[in-house]
Structure 1
């Protein structure tokens, strides 16, 4: 199934969810208003969701003078991937993480947390940047960004319904109990749609990213380091906007640590194992990344100058 077909199915599913919520809030009139609103949101998300997501994440643009080594690294990796240079953003978050956004390679952006530049070696940062470039190359960023925008809007609409209609059940067919269930189930349904498209795309971006940077173990090492560090450092922007979670390379939320239905990302051990197998097929040596201590993995590289610490 092509990415465009998946995008169409995703938009149709989230549009239907909008209509259901509108019907719960205002009956047939509410459903019609929600349908019109969802159509406008779909069009807006297609063209502007990257800007919305970057704003939700608290990202700010940086240039070559702000982060010369990171900029040069990204430029070189983009050339290797056959992509235009994406815009670079930085997020003032101690948790190491990153994501890519944009409707196509010509309008793409990569956002990195300041913690990514603080805790990872230069080789690991290259692996993460290559992973995000793989999302851009695979055109994952459009569907991931649209999902984040619409899922966030669905959650806000459900909360709006509880706040302003929770005590008035005359104009909706579900009553007060139905509105309470909507508050719980509507964001959950949007989250399940996010999960349906996120996990398989992460494996593919890992594979393509490893090929872009030329060494699968750089990315494998980064994933282990990111996973271990993210477990103990909160990502405040992601916690405030959980709809962003599926966009990051590692789940930024403090919950959902298991590889189950409610995790936006595949299990880190499984991703590392796949990269180790790829490294063996590519003829790489040096032993398993997962078995090496973090200090040893970080010893070989310097941290790029973020200009934002």
Structure 2
């Protein structure tokens, strides 16, 4: 019940933020319209947020016939974790990355980019997908997908304020629109950060336990971080509200441990996994984490 309470609290907070932005743009009428829109979006995101996110990334469903090795790997990890097998998707992107979506373990999906499947070893891929399964098991995915869709909608309100300038007949209408333009997307981003950074450490730990190879996951994180700095992820660049869903920030030029980063510092995550391996929290055939050649 704790997970559902947190989700309800998040949905209420995002709805309040949405209403406040609507009020600044259009007064009481704007707030009411925003409430109706937010209510509809909450229902849609509860039941279909995973489909919306998968559609926004252009992910395609794969099966044992179309991607046998990848599907077998994910299914084996899910069985090992005692979880329902998720739907499995592939994103056509050269940047190695992955994410999970869905409202609960019975209605979940995992997605990996073609770059991830081509540039990482099998053990590293297993570590990444185990990390995503840990997100599903921890019921992070509902919160992450709801936040992504609601944050995107709040960003759209900012664009609306830019083009229409709010209710100029109401005192402070233009100033209200300006505040929405600047602060509403920022506030949505802060909510994303609040629910994202701590969850990545938990998913790293859970993924290492599922795969039994914390150092393989650590090696994967280093490789993905390296490639993400130099390879575009056009889907994430077009929809920045999705950035927090990926295992590593897919956007260019993001300070990895700055105040406004959606992800923890990658080296800190690697250090936590190395400490876990040294403490015996999972086994790995690797003895060190190799540097990625530039």
SS of the aligned residue for 1:249 comes to: coil
State yes or no: 1:272 paired with 2:270.
yes
Q: Could you tell me how far apart the structure 2 residues matched to 1:167 and 1:106 are?
A: 43
- 1:190-217 per-residue CA deviation (whole Å, 9 max, x = no partner) reads 0100000101100000001000001101
**Which residue in 1 is equivalent to 2:136?**
136
Q: Could you tell me how far apart the structure 1 residues matched to 2:38 and 2:166 are?
A: 25
Shift of 1:142: 0.5
User: Mind listing any 5+ residue stretches in structure 2 that lack a counterpart?
Assistant: none
Could you say which structure has the greater relative contact order, defined with CA pairs below 8 angstroms and 6 or more residues apart?
1
State yes or no: 1:106 paired with 2:106.
yes
SS of the aligned residue for 1:88 comes to: strand
SS of the aligned residue for 1:261 comes to: coil
- Aligned ranges 1:120-199 → 2 under 5 Å: 120-163=120-163, 165-166=164-165, 169-171=168-170, 173-199=171-197
Q: Could you tell me how far apart the structure 2 residues matched to 1:241 and 1:235 are?
A: 10
**Which residue in 1 is equivalent to 2:50?**
50
SS of the aligned residue for 1:103 comes to: strand
Shift of 1:167: 7.3
| Alpha-carbon RMSD | 1.6
- 1:39-95 per-residue CA deviation (whole Å, 9 max, x = no partner) reads 111111111111111111111111111111000000100001111111111111111
Q: Could you tell me how far apart the structure 1 residues matched to 2:2 and 2:198 are?
A: 14
Pairing partner for 1:259 from 257, 269, 276: 257
Q: Could you tell me how far apart the structure 2 residues matched to 1:269 and 1:288 are?
A: 14
**Which residue in 2 is equivalent to 1:306?**
none
Pairing partner for 2:207 from 196, 206, 209: 209
SS of the aligned residue for 1:108 comes to: strand
Cα contact 2:25–2:167 (8 A) shared by 1: no
Residue-pair matches, total? 291
- 1:8-62 per-residue CA deviation (whole Å, 9 max, x = no partner) reads 2211111111111111221111111111221111111111111111111111111
Q: Could you tell me how far apart the structure 2 residues matched to 1:204 and 1:168 are?
A: 45
Q: TM-score, length-normalised on structure 1?
A: 0.90
